[in-house]
């Protein structure tokens, strides 16, 4: 699983890292996200990280991610924690301060995506969904092996219409 973290995510460690500035505006921006209202209540107990199922796969633990947010460090968007989070909500359930941690991470994913900081697999999945209406295209021979009918026809234009209405395909660098 380590390979996964090595293929993307520029921020891998605090060691030797020099931060240019602590950006209070960034903290405020995250506080304004859905679920971000209690962000500053974090007192770094690390209970979130203690229950996180991907804690042994990530470079930055979730309580460290929260610390970065409190310090207004936008580099947080380049941490693998943002994308390796499975959105299981364990941290959110465990937080003694009632912080909506998982919801905040959803927001960070969106922010990272808009800045083009996204694992390649997510980009190709989005494109595949748009072009073919599926994330994975089953082949006829696979279905034949299972004695199933041919792959049903799909109206890709309907899928495109739905995706266009969500503006998913327009998400890109906005700043």
Provide the minimum distance between the beta carbon of 103 and ligand SF4 in the complex, in angstroms, as a whole number: 9
Provide the minimum distance between the beta carbon of 84 and ligand SF4 in the complex, in angstroms, as a whole number: 7
Which residue in 11, 27, 35, 42 binds ligand SF4 (CB under 6 A)? 42
Residue 52 near residue 91 (C-beta atoms within 8 A): yes
Lay out the site mask for ligand SF4 across 99-128 (x = CB under 6 A, - = otherwise): x-xx--x-----------------------
34 counts as binding ligand SF4 under rule CB under 6 A: no
Q: Rule CB under 6 A: which of 75-104 touch ligand SF4? A: 85-91, 94-97, 99, 101-102
Q: How many CB atoms lie within 10 A of CB 157?
A: 9
33 counts as binding ligand SF4 under rule CB under 6 A: no
Joined together, the tokens standing for residue 82 give 């943002």
Q: Which ranges in 2-139 belong to alpha helices (H)?
A: 2-6, 24-31, 47-51, 62-70, 80-84, 90-94, 101-114, 120-132
Dihedral sign, Cα of residue 37, residue 40, residue 45, residue 50: positive
Which residue in 46, 156, 159, 163 binds ligand SF4 (CB under 6 A)? 46
């Amino acid at each position: 699983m380590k390979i996964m973290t090595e293929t993307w995510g520029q921020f891998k460690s605090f060691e030797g890292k020099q931060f240019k500035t602590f950006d209070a505006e960034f903290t405020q921006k995250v506080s304004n996200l859905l679920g971000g209202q209690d962000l500053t209540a974090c007192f770094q107990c690390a209970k979130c990280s203690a229950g996180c199922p991907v804690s042994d796969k990530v470079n930055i633990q979730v309580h460290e991610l929260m610390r970065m947010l409190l310090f207004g460090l936008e580099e947080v968007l380049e941490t693998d924690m943002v994308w390796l989070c499975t959105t299981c909500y364990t941290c959110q359930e465990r937080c003694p301060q009632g912080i909506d941690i998982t919801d905040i991470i959803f927001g960070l994913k969106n922010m990272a995506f808009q800045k083009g900081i996204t694992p390649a697999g997510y980009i190709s999945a989005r494109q595949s969904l748009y072009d073919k209406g599926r994330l994975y295209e089953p082949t006829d021979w696979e279905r034949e092996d299972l004695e199933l009918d041919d792959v049903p026809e799909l109206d890709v234009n309907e899928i495109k219409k739905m995706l266009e209405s969500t503006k998913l395909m327009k998400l890109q660098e906005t700043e």
